[in-house]
Chains A and B, each alone.
Chain A
Amino acid sequence: MQNRKIDWKKYIYTFFITAIIFGTAIFISNYFSQKKLAEIRSIQDTISIDILSSETQFSLLEELSCKDVTTEVLSKELGNLEEKLAYTEKDRGSTDSEVQTLKRYYSLLQIKDYLLMTKISQKCDKTPISIVYFYSNKGDCEDCEKAGYVLTKMRQDYPELRVYAFDYNLDISAVQTLISINKVENKLPALIIGEKVYYGFQTIEDLNKYLPELEELRKLKNATSTQATTTKIK
């Protein structure tokens, strides 16, 4: 006769052990998740201070020369923040309330930076090298992903280029005002370069055409690096 005894205690213990392992995994995951969110908040705070610092610097511009205004570090930090925010959005989902809050803050920081850059450019008589990009995560923008790849690549190639990315559907008045001021229609992806709005997917070549300053930057860079090499060889 086969032994049909069921050791219920063992089944219950196993359940508890498995549940504890599950609980620990949830705890560890939440712990790291909170740490990551805290890091994003900390970067945002740093950027906020940086912008404030730039604004203050700008206010003092009348007494300073244009070359003293530094904004390169900020551009890198914005890029770093965007990368981490995108990762978090992918990880936690775009509907996550934390992600939404962080995105709102990030959007505001971008607008502030955009305005500051525009002012600096006007004051110092420079053409702003920036792209304002509107996308949608709702699944109604087929080319947004491709546009994202192109803009990431552009920013990698030209660190001086500032790319401001905004979720078209983000429920924040400042973004909606930016949309209405520039009369951006819901035909995404949409890019604002200079004062012109471009709709649909734009290739790297298109963007180079719209921003001839990039080509000049590239030539300047090449010349500098060639000179540096020549000096080294000498």
Chain B
Amino acid sequence: MLEISNAVTYVFLFISLYFEVFLLITYFENRTDMKKETQNLFEKKLKKFPTVTIIVPCWNEEKTITKTLNSLLNLDYPKNKLSIMIIDDGSTDNTWNVIQKFKNKKQIQMFRKENGGKYTALNFGLSRVQSELIGCLDADSYVHKDALKNIIYYFEDKETMSVTPSVKVWKPKKIIQMIQKVEYDWGVFIRKMFSYLGAIYVTPGPFSIFRKEVFENLGGYRHAYQTEDMELAVRMQSNHYKIVNAHEAVVYTVAPDTVKKLYKQRLRWTYGFIKNVIDYKHLFKREYGNLGIFVLPLASISIVSALYIISIAIINLAFQIFDFYSKWSAIGFELTKPHLNFDWFFINTSFMTIISIVSFMGILALLFIARKMAEKKFAFSMDLVYFLTLYAFISPLWMFKAVYNAIFSVKTYWR
């Protein structure tokens, strides 16, 4: 039994190390291109400014909506080419009144409808849009003034159908937000790598921009287990539509500030991922390139491997507690005397330990690159420590529940 368990762990460790090496190679392969893209953004001027509509669906966002709209109004983009469409999805708080202060702004249109969920609000907006490009922005997110220009640059390629931004956490204050900051920095890096692999499978709610044809040809947003942004991306991939990432287009989002809120959000994301992957299982094929043979299979395996490794860790912890209890009941509580003479013999040099250390170093290297990419420099800060020490303890909470819900078809709720 132990041998089987060890063999499974080795397989998972091999896969995770393979993934790390693959990402590092992809990064070094495309580093020059990435720098060139950044340079072009500053040097070359846009040939054309297409018309853009940003749909802002909101539900009870009275606290953040003003800042969201101000950030959109401050975008460095010709005013006559940019429209903002606010869809109040039946807010029960003061959101509708708050947005009234923008009613005189020519760029802004506002609508109010009965509550039906985010995807209905987006579709409500889509049915009224006339522009060449359409984007959406969650009402708890803020855009950098250059974000749209940096995104439009990628639409100069006629084949590009959607461009995703780099999403970062807005002013993280609490530990739980700092942990997410590292995670989002990692997201900046991974999304760019997936972009080079032609394998982006989420077009994030905050500020992903699409050509109008996407919706004309493929239809609007779907409920998709409340992960409409992932479903739309995989639907596009299913139709071989090109999605790329604009790593210099920065959008900030307000991260959940309590474990409970984070749990709910991540449960929805993980559950949505599992269900969408099942719905689009036909993508696991060679004809879908790196997405079909590498990215989606790896993303699916990572859930299974994370659950497996966490389970093993919990079992080991249980054994250790039992051992401690057994020792305590035999000889009572006693502080272990520190070994004054260091003996290398007792250093764990097992294969599992060595390979885990190598794998951990790989993760550190990738986090270093991700941080450098997201923040333009690497600065060590406590958020890395929080992420490395605490994330492994909180992520199992939603992972186990999401898998349980997916197996037993238990619905997950956003709110």
Contacts and interface: CB of A to CB of B under 8 A. Distances in A.
Contacts of A149: 326-327, 330-331
A15 B351 CA distance: 19
A60 interface: no
Interface of B: 2, 14, 17-18, 21-22, 25-26, 29, 159, 198, 237, 240-243, 286-290, 293-294, 323, 326-327, 329-331, 334, 345-346, 348-351, 353-355, 358
Contacts of A73: none
B351 A26 contact: yes
B194 to A, nearest CB: 12
Which 7 residue pairs are nearest across A and B when measured between Cβ atoms?
A4-B289, A32-B349, A146-B330, A29-B351, A149-B330, A3-B198, A25-B354
**Which secondary structure dominates where chain B touches chain A?**
helix
A111 B356 CA distance: 41
Contacts of A36: 345, 349
Contacts of A25: 351, 354-355, 358
A39 B343 CA distance: 11
B14 A18 contact: yes
The prevalent SS among residues of A at the interface is helix
Contacts of B198: 2-5
Contact of B289 (A3, A21, A22, A203): A3
Interface string A54-97: 00000000000000000000000000000010010001010000
A224 interface: no
Given A4-B287, A153-B334, 18 more contacts: A1-B240, A1-B241, A2-B240, A2-B241, A4-B288, A21-B17, A21-B355, A22-B14, A25-B354, A28-B349, A29-B350, A91-B350, A145-B323, A145-B326, A149-B330, A150-B330, A153-B330, A201-B330
B414 to A, nearest CB: 30
B201 to A, nearest CB: 11
Contact of B286 (A6, A145, A146): A6
Contacts of B288: 4
Contacts of A201: 330
A196 interface: no
Contact of A84 (B323, B326, B345): B345
A182 interface: no
B297 to A, nearest CB: 12
A2 B283 CA distance: 13
Nearest to A88: B345
Given A10-B22, A28-B349, A145-B326, A1 B159 contact: yes
Interface in A116-163: 145-147, 149-150, 153
Contacts of B159: 1
